[in-house]
Structure 1
Amino acid sequence: MARVIVVDALAREHGKRMVTVDVIGVGPRAVAGLIEKLGVRASLYPLEAVLEEPSILAEYDAMFVSAMSSDKPAAQRLAKLWKRFSNGPSVIGGPVSIEIGEALRLGYDYAVIGEAEVVLPNALKPMLKRDNDVLLHIKGVAFTRKGRIVFTGKPPYASRETLNYIHYTDIRNYDAYWAARVYVEVVRGCSNWRRPRGRLPDGRVCIHCEICTSAPLRARIKCPVSIQPGCGYCSVPVLYGPARSREVDTIVEEVKRLIDLGVTRVVLSAPDFLDYKRDVLVEPEPLTDPCNPPANINAIRELLEALFDKIPEFAMREAYLMIENVKACLVDERVAKVLGEYLRGTPVHIGVETGSDNHMWMLGRPITTTDAKRAVSLLRSAGLEPYVYFIYGLPWENSKVVHETIMLMEELWKLGATKVTAYRFRPLPGTAFQDYEPPVPGSESYAILAKARELNRAEKGRWLGRVVRGIVAGWHPAKKMLVVYPLPHGPVTLVRGPRGLIGWLVKVEITGVISDRMLKGRIVSRIRRVARRSDGGLRVRSGASLSR
């Protein structure tokens, strides 16, 4: 039987994760699980593990790689390594494949364009056999033939039923997987199919026609002026389509297998967790309205209740369940109540992006500043930890927008946002904003970043004197200190102690603030060992940022 290695190269531009090193994402696990579902043996490795021991590649007949556009250097390096150790086919997929020619020029035999669940059931075995004549008739495949790039056409989006299988759960090749945040997909795709309203560099401008306002949901997928759907900076709608939900039983079984393996932190992953089973409320139409209908409270409660009922480690606080993103326009009293009932003390991420309502409208955002303030207040009152996100350097940003954004950041922090994150705008291929330039260092936009750092450092001061539970995940060679991840989530904390404590759950008193991203503390007591004795700790590499 053929053996396939699936390599997770996501967010590893330089061959290793430089930020959020405690994350194990969804995509590569989904691909590996699908390959096994199709009857082919698969193994999953993070890129850094392969780069440290490239001879691993010789054990496999084919290589599948998941990467983003920013990961091209690492993906190219991996393709060269593969050719040193194997003559088998290499396949690249994920967001990087939206640039078809670029993906193939990295040195891969095939690129998968679209969702693997649609393409691989027909394409996997022909790829393993290099049967390009068969592949010519399968949509979603690109390869080079007679010196020319062949693209077989864009495939349809995967159905909800197609997504309902168990993703690969043997993640032991990842450093300190037992301390990592492991993402489990509950929703694929995005419900925001509005368009940005400002004039684009090529002259196109949204005419605000009935397709985005009053047409049947299905019609919103097509735009008369061919502007990509969704927020202008985001590629999720183009890559993954409208929001579709996985079934409760599948999610519970996948999470259970991860917990049985020793995972302690699970994140229910979705572009918007509150889209869960909203797609059921509008079927057979696709879910393309970001704010209507309201959240499907009954379905959300059913999912969370099943996870706590069938996985006792959550109720016993031996493992922790979290969610990630929510749209502020879907947060109401009912949502806050049910999330607070099951997820109290855990973070909830709210994309705000800008402090100007008019700028939000131009960007294609589905919320207002009022929505953001209400969501933070409600979630904080329910006992959750609201994290808010902004992007600096976006198109159509000006002095007024920068000022309004800084004012909103301060107001949300005062309302209870416990983390304020500012990302630098980066134009992504396939998005409406792909032809814009990122902000120039030192420009006025960077005042937003400075404000985020100021607020986060002030927030870190509120941790002083607290005693928290955390997992000792590894050793920081530059600081010569142990790395502790607070539970269920919180700022990375460095403590002094012997390396033998790696893998232990401990109590830590917070004694100082290192930066806007990091704390220091002292170990008060040991609680129990979390990692199996054969499992290694987090290997912090030079230049990496541990902060979340």
Structure 2
Amino acid sequence: MQVNWRNIHAARNSFAVLYAACEREGIHLNPVDAPTGDITCYSLTSISAARYQKEIASADCITIVGGPHVSAVPRGVAGYADYVVVGEGEYTLPRLLISLARGGDGKIPGVMTGDWYQPADTAVRLDAFPPFSEYKGYIEISRGCPFSCGYCQTPQIFGHCMRHRSVDEIARYTERHSQSRFITPNALAYGSDGVHPRFDKVERLLRGCHNQIFFGTFPSEVRPEFVCTASLELINRYCTNTKLHFGAQSGSDTVLSRMKRGHTVADVITAVDLCREHGLTPVVDFIVGLPFETDADQRATLDLIREVARAGTVHVHRFIPLPGTSLAGSPARPLLPETEKVCGDLALRGHLTGSWNAVEIRFLRRHSNDIP
């Protein structure tokens, strides 16, 4: 049975993880640029899903589709794909492929096919699966998030309880890279419940990696309330990066509260100031066009954007109502003329990246001198 993996740029790390998980079961995923063979697998985001829907529906092979978009709206995808993997795939995908290879119908927990669905009966323990093998990827060190930010799919897919890969396993895989880069909802929450930092465990992790460590930068970030003297001293002592990436999202405490962000504007300002004091450049995320922000809220965000831009770099993206989130179906509100002007001026001066109009750019690689 020939099993293929559809090459999609945004799914490269998913491919690395799932290739390694399938390889352990004697299944090899062959990367392809079009559906072919016996089976072709896809991993889709909510941005890429529309682009591949027609291709999947008309494929002359069995199609298996997973990814964050699929986990949010599985019944919609099951209308044009043969099998839909809902949630984590490291255990479910090999199990599904083995069922199909043995002539089974693929009706296993965690898979939707047609009108049939049974929720997964397992949760992934990160140490039980390699982060990559032949096709290298970033090392996922944590999964899950205790917060419920209204725009974010992460806790809906991976749960609200954080799970961590052990230091020994992380260190073993970092030896295969010249540089260590990690995937995690909040790098500074490593080893903790995601709310109360355990910097002793963060230090043990950083001390256990013996190559160049980039921590709290692409493809992960940190939360502003985790930025403090103790955490920044750890980064300066053990890490290579000269920047720290964290999310502000809004300059209005009212908006932050309504989206259940879990921090305040003051936390953001403190984090920016502490970064400067420790010689690190802050790279700060903002969302503009949130559905419930007033003109005053948007102007408060502009004020904070200007303040951050004086100390570091701002990354701005337009609100996207992602399926599976509490704000799904909520349209983005129009931007004020001054929002367009300020963002454009800062971008021309090199202080702002991202896009406040073309939402796809939110999912592209961020510009950073710390990223080779």
TM-score under structure 2 length normalisation: 0.85
Query: Does the Cα contact within 8 Å between 2:214 and 2:240 map onto a contact in 1?
Result: no
Paired position in structure 2 for 1:256: 175
Aligned counterparts of 1:362 and 1:61: Cα–Cα separation in 2: 48
Displacement after TM superposition at 1:371 (Å): 0.6
Query: Paired residue for 1:189, among 144, 147, 166?
Result: 144
Deviation per CA, 1:175-216: give whole Å up to 9, x if none.
xxxxxxx53211111121xxxxxxxxxxxxxxxxxxxxxxxx
User: Where do 1:3-18 residues align within 5 Å?
Assistant: 3-9=2-8, 11=10
Deviation per CA, 1:393-429: give whole Å up to 9, x if none.
1121011101111111112223x2x211111111111
| Structure with max Cα Rg | 1
Paired position in structure 1 for 2:191: 277
State whether structure 2 residue 209 is matched by structure 1 residue 307.
yes
Paired position in structure 2 for 1:99: 73
Deviation per CA, 1:356-387: give whole Å up to 9, x if none.
11211111011111111111222232232211
CA RMSD of aligned residues (A): 2.7
User: Where do 1:371-390 residues align within 5 Å?
Assistant: 371-390=267-286
Q: Structure 1 pair 36/231, CA: closer, same or farther in 2 (3 Å)?
A: same
User: Where do 1:95-174 residues align within 5 Å?
Assistant: 95-97=68-70, 98-106=72-80, 108-120=81-93, 122-129=95-102, 131-132=104-105, 135-136=106-107, 138-144=108-114, 149-153=115-119, 155=120, 158-159=123-124, 161-171=125-135
Query: Paired residue for 1:36, among 4, 20, 23?
Result: 23
One-letter code aligned to 1:28: F
Displacement after TM superposition at 1:252 (Å): 2.5
User: Where do 1:419-434 residues align within 5 Å?
Assistant: 419-434=313-328
Displacement after TM superposition at 1:237 (Å): 0.4
User: Where do 1:263-342 residues align within 5 Å?
Assistant: 266-278=180-192, 287=193, 290-291=194-195, 293=196, 295-308=197-210, 311=211, 314=212, 321-323=214-216, 324-342=220-238
State whether structure 2 residue 175 is matched by structure 1 residue 236.
no
Query: Does the Cα contact within 8 Å between 1:274 and 1:326 map onto a contact in 2?
Result: yes
Q: Structure 1 unaligned runs (5+)?
A: 12-23, 173-181, 193-229, 260-264, 279-286, 315-319, 462-484, 491-548
Paired position in structure 1 for 2:40: 63
| Residue identity (%) | 24
Q: Structure 1 pair 390/28, CA: closer, same or farther in 2 (3 Å)?
A: same
Query: Does the Cα contact within 8 Å between 1:344 and 1:383 map onto a contact in 2?
Result: no
Displacement after TM superposition at 1:164 (Å): 3.9
Aligned counterparts of 2:53 and 2:229: Cα–Cα separation in 1: 49
Paired position in structure 1 for 2:258: 362
Q: Structure 1 pair 357/121, CA: closer, same or farther in 2 (3 Å)?
A: same
Displacement after TM superposition at 1:321 (Å): 2.9
One-letter code aligned to 2:87: G
Displacement after TM superposition at 1:460 (Å): 5.6
Aligned counterparts of 1:3 and 1:168: Cα–Cα separation in 2: 21
Q: Structure 2 unaligned runs (5+)?
A: 353-366
Aligned counterparts of 2:95 and 2:241: Cα–Cα separation in 1: 44
Q: Structure 1 pair 238/411, CA: closer, same or farther in 2 (3 Å)?
A: same
Q: Structure 1 pair 80/359, CA: closer, same or farther in 2 (3 Å)?
A: closer
Displacement after TM superposition at 1:93 (Å): 0.3
Paired position in structure 2 for 1:457: 348
Aligned counterparts of 1:354 and 1:458: Cα–Cα separation in 2: 22
Query: Does the Cα contact within 8 Å between 2:6 and 2:40 map onto a contact in 1?
Result: yes
Higher strand share goes to which structure?
1
Aligned counterparts of 2:98 and 2:116: Cα–Cα separation in 1: 18
TM-score under structure 1 length normalisation: 0.59
Displacement after TM superposition at 1:32 (Å): 1.5
User: Where do 1:185-224 residues align within 5 Å?
Assistant: 185-192=140-147
Query: Does the Cα contact within 8 Å between 1:10 and 1:71 map onto a contact in 2?
Result: no
The more displaced of 371-380 and 401-410 is: 371-380
Aligned counterparts of 1:152 and 1:164: Cα–Cα separation in 2: 23
Paired position in structure 2 for 1:465: none
Deviation per CA, 1:474-493: give whole Å up to 9, x if none.
xxxxxxxxxxx975338xxx
One-letter code aligned to 1:231: C
SS at match of 1:116: coil
Displacement after TM superposition at 1:266 (Å): 4.4
Query: Paired residue for 1:73, among 45, 50, 65?
Result: 50
Paired position in structure 1 for 2:359: none
Aligned counterparts of 2:254 and 2:223: Cα–Cα separation in 1: 18
Query: Does the Cα contact within 8 Å between 1:322 and 1:343 map onto a contact in 2?
Result: yes
Q: Structure 1 pair 142/420, CA: closer, same or farther in 2 (3 Å)?
A: same
